[in-house]
């Protein structure tokens, strides 16, 4: 699907359908019902060298299909969703959420990543504009490892043209996390805030996964 609008309303319709299959209803229940005390922000992490230097034909939130192709990307289909909140626990609407990651064989969508095995059917990058409740959604593949790094997904959040957060999320419980130098620098508290459970979705023929990650950013001048 190719569009100039990063907010794909039809994917929310798909999300509602997935709820009917028994997906975790907690996906859009905001954390802690907005406790009065400030929430711990999602830790900032390096952008890394492979933020796309040339955007794919598609930049929407379905990374499994590029343009009008009928051939999907290789990998474990994963539905990554959550809510962008500020540290007061308030949802942040119209926040631009970007993700980028390697394909199934560990290669980024970047001209300087010359390793073999790039999946031409994997978008490698996507973006989504949060709705009025701060929610975002991506259909992608479960992250995989490549030399020197544990499986992870890069994320950036921009509000009113200001980059508020650059971070990464990891697979909760993956043993490779402990050897990842960036993950180790987070400490126990930061690791907890960036570790995501990828849970099987019952009733899906291709063993799809559901991953819920709420992203906490700092306050904007309007907050």
pLDDT band for position 2 (cuts 50, 70, 90): very low
Q: Give the lowest-confidence range in 62-66, 89-93, 154-158, 217-221.
A: 217-221
The residue assigned the tokens 């994997």 is 122
Question: With 90 as the cut, is the pLDDT of residue 68 above it?
Answer: no
Question: With 50 as the cut, is the pLDDT of residue 8 above it?
Answer: no
Rounded Cα distance, 30 and 89, in Å: 8
Rounded Cα distance, 134 and 72, in Å: 28
Per-residue pLDDT, averaged over 24-48, amounts to: 69
| CATH class for the region spanning 9-22+38-217 | mainly beta
Q: For 96-125, what is each residue's pLDDT tens digit?
A: 999 999 999 999 999 999 999 889 999 999
In this prediction, residue 36 carries a pLDDT of: 58
Q: For 135-159, what is each residue's pLDDT tens digit?
A: 999 999 999 999 999 999 999 999 9
3-state SS, residue 203: coil
* Percent share of the chain, pLDDT over 90: 73
CA-based torsion, 36, 134, 204, 170: positive or negative: negative
156's CB contacts (< 8 A; 6+ apart) are 47, 51, 97, 98, 99, 163, 165, 166, 167
Q: Which two tokens stand for residue 109?
A: 């969508």
Return the H-helix or E-strand segment holding 158.
strand 152-159
Q: Which two tokens stand for residue 37?
A: 């005390």
Q: Mean pLDDT for the chain?
A: 87
Domain boundaries, the chain: 9-22+38-217
Rounded Cα distance, 26 and 32, in Å: 11
Question: With 70 as the cut, is the pLDDT of residue 5 above it?
Answer: no
């Amino acid at each position: 699907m190719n569009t100039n609008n990063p907010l794909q309303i039809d994917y929310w319709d798909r999300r509602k359908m997935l709820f009917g299959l028994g997906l975790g209803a907690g996906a859009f229940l905001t954390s802690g019902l907005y406790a009065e005390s400030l929430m711990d922000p999602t830790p900032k992490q390096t952008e890394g060298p492979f933020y796309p230097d040339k955007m794919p034909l598609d930049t929407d939130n379905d990374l499994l299909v590029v343009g009008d192709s009928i051939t999907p990307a290789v990998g474990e289909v994963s539905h990554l969703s959550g809510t962008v909140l500020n540290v007061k626990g308030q949802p942040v609407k119209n926040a631009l959420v970007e993700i980028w990651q390697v394909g199934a064989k560990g290669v980024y969508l970047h001209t300087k990543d010359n390793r073999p095995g790039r999946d031409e059917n994997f978008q490698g990058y996507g973006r989504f504009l949060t709705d009025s409740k701060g929610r975002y959604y991506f259909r992608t593949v479960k992250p995989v490892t490549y030399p020197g790094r544990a499986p992870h997904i890069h994320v950036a959040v921009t509000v009113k043209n200001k980059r508020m957060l650059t971070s990464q999320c990891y697979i909760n419980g993956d043993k490779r996390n402990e050897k990842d130098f960036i993950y180790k620098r987070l400490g126990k508290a930061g690791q907890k805030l960036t570790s995501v459970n990828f849970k099987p979705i019952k009733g899906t023929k291709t063993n799809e996964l559901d991953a819920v990650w709420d992203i906490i950013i700092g306050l904007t001048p309007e907050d």
